[in-house]
Amino acid sequence: MKFGMIGGGSWATALAKILTDNGNTIHWWIRNTSTIATLKKRKHNPHYLGAAYFDTQQLILSCNVEEVIQQSDILVIAVPSAYAIDVLSTLPDDIFKGKKIISAIKGILPVTNQLLNEYLHDKFNVSIEDYFSVLGPCHAEEVASEKLSYLTFTGLDDAFAAKIAESFHTEYINTNINHDIYGVQYAAVLKNIYALGAGIAHGLEYGDNFLSVYIANCAYEMGGFCKKMVWEKESVEEQKSINYSASVYLGDLLVTCYSLYSRNRTFGNMIGKGYSVKSAQLELNMVAEGYNASKCIYITNETVQAAMPIATAIYQILWENLPAEEGFRIIEGCLQ
């Protein structure tokens, strides 16, 4: 299998490291030609995960995304959700014919309010059977330092998902497979929103006791939304088999809420300390997926009508200028 990587950020770099450490040569699209030049010369990404070094003989680097797609059998799309349409929209309509897609995007595409598989189907006629997602719990920084981490690969084709998972299995990466293609993607979107809220709580100087109750309620709220959201997309039997306490759901929520590596938590902490959204974005200088996701989920839930008081309050803090203190007083009142 010939892998292609689309994206040059920290998560793309981490996944590229895992694939090459497992002996795979990859075609890798990075927009910035100076980044490519530095990678070739110094064997690491100058902007992200500087501790992750590569055997450049395993990298076929290009700033031409069409070329990378054409040369690959399996495409890992690992650009931030806010930029995905910019990267993909000008490509030929048949560019993904015969390809397998792995989404490493942990968010909804804000322009169309769609998951990546929905956009790829509408724009490029990509079948859901050819679409997979990769999720954690797994921080890019711990991959760079080769601390034991876990990846879950989700798709309707279990046999091919297992084949992909094997390509990412290393001494420091354990892999699982999952069949809940919609639920895991929505869980990944929601955990970023809740982690942003955990950061706000920390910035407001709530303690660990509150945070534990907050996260437990977030897990319950997330499960309720996912059940309603995927009810018409998956069979009843598949619904019954979903374990929302599994690592790809609860584990990813926990690490994103607690870890100091979490950019969503960091972004939220700034909001809780009184930063404006704009100031926090400039200070972070990285994409916090939970910000756009909070609006996308709010809009989506106008149709789904799941009980989501926590996500709604976070949306109102970020997008409707609700003071953080007032928003968390609302959240306090709905926790059990």
Written as one string, the DSSP assignment of 82-123 is: HHHHHHHTTS-TTTTTT-EEEE---S-BTTTTB-HHHHHHHH
Count of domains in the chain? 2
Helix axes 81-88, 116-124, angle to 10 degrees: 10
Structure tokens at 158: 């279990």
Do 164 and 189 share a domain, yes or no?
no
Do 162 and 21 share a domain, yes or no?
yes
Question: pTM for this structure?
Answer: 0.93
Do 24 and 110 share a domain, yes or no?
yes
Do 76 and 213 share a domain, yes or no?
no
**pLDDT given for residue 283 in this prediction:** 87
**pLDDT given for residue 242 in this prediction:** 85
Write down which residue in 179, 208, 233 finishes a domain. Answer: 179
**pLDDT given for residue 232 in this prediction:** 55
Q: What are phi and psi of 78, to 5 degrees?
A: -130, 45
Cβ atoms of residues 59 and 28 within 8 Å: yes
Domain that holds residue 138: 3-179
Judging by DSSP bridges, how do beta strands 26-29 and 149-155 pair with one another? Answer: unpaired
CA separation for the pair 23, 31 (Å, rounded): 24
Tell me which H or E stretch contains 61.
strand 59-62
**pLDDT given for residue 234 in this prediction:** 56
Side chain identity at residue 209, one-letter code: N
The residues, any chain, with a CB within 8 Å of residue 78's CB and separated by 6 or more, are 5, 6, 7, 9, 11, 12, 15, 104, 105
Do 213 and 320 share a domain, yes or no?
yes
Do 24 and 71 share a domain, yes or no?
yes
Do 171 and 320 share a domain, yes or no?
no
**Residuewise pLDDT in 10s, the chain (336 residues):** 899 999 999 999 999 999 999 999 999 999 999 999 999 999 999 999 988 999 999 999 999 999 999 999 999 999 999 999 999 999 999 999 999 999 999 889 998 999 999 999 999 999 999 999 999 999 999 999 999 999 999 999 999 999 999 999 999 999 999 999 999 999 999 999 999 999 999 999 999 999 999 999 999 999 999 988 876 565 545 556 788 889 999 999 999 999 989 999 999 999 999 999 999 988 887 778 899 999 999 999 999 999 999 999 999 999 999 999 999 999 999 999
Write down which residue in 132, 164, 179 finishes a domain. Answer: 179
| CATH value at residue 139 | 3.40.50.720
Do 251 and 127 share a domain, yes or no?
no
Do 153 and 131 share a domain, yes or no?
yes
Do 204 and 296 share a domain, yes or no?
yes
DSSP state of 16: H
Write down which residue in 126, 151, 179 finishes a domain. Answer: 179
| CATH value at residue 300 | 1.10.1040.10
Do 160 and 227 share a domain, yes or no?
no
